[in-house]
Every structure is written in structure tokens, then in C-alpha cells.
Amino acid sequence: MQNRIYVTREIPEIGINMLKEKGYEVVVGNDKKPISQKDIIDILKKAEKIGKPYNILLSLLTDKIDKKVFEIAPSLKMVSNYAIGYDNVNIEDAKEYGVMVTNTPGDYMGSVAEHVVAMTLSLCNRIAEADHFVRRGYYKGFDPMLMIGHDVSEKTIGIIGAGRIGEKTTYCFNKGFGCPILYYDCHRNEKIENDCNAKRMESLNDLIKQSDIISLHVPLNEKTYHMVDEEFISKMKPDAFIINTARGAVVDEKYLYHALKEKKIAGAGLDVFEFEPNITRGLSKLGNVIMTPHIASASIKARDIMSKVAAQNIIDYMEGGESKNNCVK
């Protein structure tokens, strides 16, 4: 049987071409917004019915893939998720239905790390706020007391999750600004300890209490859901910032809104949202938060690599029975 792949939305062509060159039949959905689970089910069901089933799904982080999808698509053998995070795919269900799931880690984490730095600089140097100020015509001349901010180089950075992205972020802050680094992770990262003098914290509470900028780099799962809640925020320094480029629901967004409004902490940089694409009411009215639309990995290089890795995962698994980015253990 010819391998047939349904790609739920447009992704960079490079990976699509790799699959086509291998003779795979690739169909790319043309929706401009995230596709619903019902639509995914309808597409797969119809293909099964007409005898041209898809055996591979190339999904995005917005696609909810679980039992409901697997049970109507008996031909489906693989879900190649175009993302590092794969909390959108129910791995237990995939296991039950014998479907392989892969993700796209790779050598492009610099993009996310740079986004963390950009958000930090924007918050500390009040860039977004200052830009609004000038555009709205409020600038009436130099004022030595205007928009005084913070030096990033004076800050202690707390990295929660020292995997590849946390590691890159550590290098950016330590090598670029000389910032001391604290990190919290169940695994030791000797590379950042040796190269950046990063200090592994035994206690998350100690990291929270001692950090000026906290950057989240954990996957979303039952342990990390609402990790940043009222208790977490109550331990942060009142002049500390938090940056989230991981997954929205790692933060209790409604409480974060309250904390920012009440100035319990200095500010937040959010690239991801708990109720994505919806934003907690009131958040966008606050001056101490900057927000970007889940684009931390959206550099040309990163997106191309993700496309290549997603395609290579398919080729490796379909042709060799194995992929190095296997999420079903």
C-alpha cells in the first residue's frame, strides 16, 4: 500500500518535498485556522470509506488527537506531531491502538531561547510600553525620570526545566549578559553547570525565592499543570518577572492576571496561553505584561528544521520501523 499522509495545515515545504521525493502521497489541509477534532475525524473517516485511507497524520500542536481519532481510522499507523510538545496527543490512547507518535526536537532551540531573551529585554527595558508611548504622541522631550527600567545583567535567572531549550536559554543569559543561573530539573545538566556555572537547586521554592527572572521550560502534563499558581507567585520576589514560552496551562492564567493587576510581581512575558487562542479577560489591558502569539519557535531556520524532522520521523519509522523521536515508550 502506498503511504498516504494527511498534513493538517500548511507547514514549510521542505519536509513535504522530502516525503514526496520518497513517493509518499501527501495531502495538505488548507485551513487558515486550527482544524477541529471533528474535521480531522471526518477527513480520516471519509478516506477510509473510499478505500484511500491515510496511514500517517502529520499534526500540529493545536490538533487534539486521541481515541476518538484512532477508533475511526484503523489504517492510521503514525502521528508525526510538528512540535516539541505533544500534550495534544493522548499517548496512552495511541499505545492502545498501536499508533506511533513522534515529535520534533532538534537543533533549533536557539529560536525559543532568543524569544525568552527578547521578552526579558522588552520587560526590563520597557520596550513595548515605550513604543506605545511614542506612537501615541506622549513623548514631549527627554526626561531623566521617564520609564526607568532594569539591567538584565543585574538579574539572577531561574530556569525551570533544563532540557535543550532551558540549556540554550541558560547560555544566552549567562554568556550574553553574565547573569547568574539557578536551575531546577529532576535531571542534572552538567554542561550548564560546567560552562555557565549554573547552580542546580534541590528545592523549587528556593529557586522561586531567589530568582529575578523565571523562565519556564517544562512540558505540560499532570505534574506541571498550574505549576505557577497562587502559592508559586506568593514566593516570587515582588520585582521579579516570569516568562512562559512552554505551554499556557503550566500557569494558572486567571491568577496570574490577578497577581499582575495587583502588582504582586513586576511583570510577565507570555508566548503561550492557557485558553489559547483566547486570552484571559483584562490581561491585554495591563502594562506589565507582554504577549506574543505562540511564535517563540517561529524563525525561518526553526520552522524549516521542524518540517524536516517531522518528515524524517515518518521516513525512519515507515521504512526502518524506528524513529529517534519516539514519544510512545
Partners of 289 in the β-ladder: 268
* Contacting residues for 44 by C-beta, under 8 A, at least 6 apart: 6, 53, 54, 57, 69, 72, 73, 76
- In the block, which residue shows the cell 507567585? 233
The catalytic residue among 25, 114, 129, 276 is 276
For the residues of 205-241, what is the DSSP string, one character each? HHHHHH-SEEEE----STTTTT-BSHHHHHHS-TT-E
Pick 61 or 162: Cβ nearer ligand GLV: 61
Q: Is 96 a catalytic residue?
A: no
Pick 244 or 280: Cβ nearer ligand GLV: 244
Pick 85 or 166: Cβ nearer ligand GLV: 85
Pick 105 or 267: Cβ nearer ligand GLV: 105
Partners of 159 in the β-ladder: 183, 215
Q: How far is the CB of 297 from ligand GLV (least distance, A)?
A: 5
Q: How far is the CB of 96 from ligand GLV (least distance, A)?
A: 24
**Quick check: 85 binds ligand GLV (CB under 6 A)?**
yes
Contacts with ligand GLV by CB under 6 A: the residue count is 5
Nearest to 115, CA basis, from 310, 315, 291: 291
| Residue from the set 76, 84, 94, 227 that interacts with ligand GLV by CB under 6 A | 84
Partners of 100 in the β-ladder: 78
**Quick check: 305 binds ligand GLV (CB under 6 A)?**
no
Maximum separation of any 2 CA atoms in the chain, in Å:
72
Amino acid code (one letter) for 221: N
Pick 83 or 256: Cβ nearer ligand GLV: 83
Cβ proximity of 299 and 107 under 8 Å: no
The catalytic residue among 9, 164, 294, 303 is 294
Joined grid coordinates for residue 33: 485556522
Q: Is 150 a catalytic residue?
A: no
Q: In what order do the strands lie in the sheet with 157-160?
A: 199-200, 181-184, 157-160, 213-216, 241-244, 267-270, 289-291
Q: How far is the CB of 83 from ligand GLV (least distance, A)?
A: 4
Q: What is the 3-state secondary structure (H, E, C) of 137-161?
A: CCCCCCCCCCCCCCCHHHCCEEEEC
Q: How far is the CB of 25 from ligand GLV (least distance, A)?
A: 26
In 10 A of CB 68, how many CB atoms? Answer: 15
**Quick check: 220 binds ligand GLV (CB under 6 A)?**
no
Q: How far is the CB of 103 from ligand GLV (least distance, A)?
A: 8
- Ranges within 64-83 binding ligand GLV (CB under 6 A): 83
- Ranges within 281-300 binding ligand GLV (CB under 6 A): 297
Q: How far is the CB of 310 from ligand GLV (least distance, A)?
A: 10
The catalytic residue among 9, 126, 247, 303 is 247
Q: Is 48 a catalytic residue?
A: no
Pick 3 or 325: Cβ nearer ligand GLV: 325
Nearest to 180, CA basis, from 196, 160, 204: 196
- Ranges within 35-64 binding ligand GLV (CB under 6 A): 61
Residue ranges in contact with ligand GLV by CB under 6 A = 61, 83-85, 297
Catalytic residue positions? 247, 276, 294
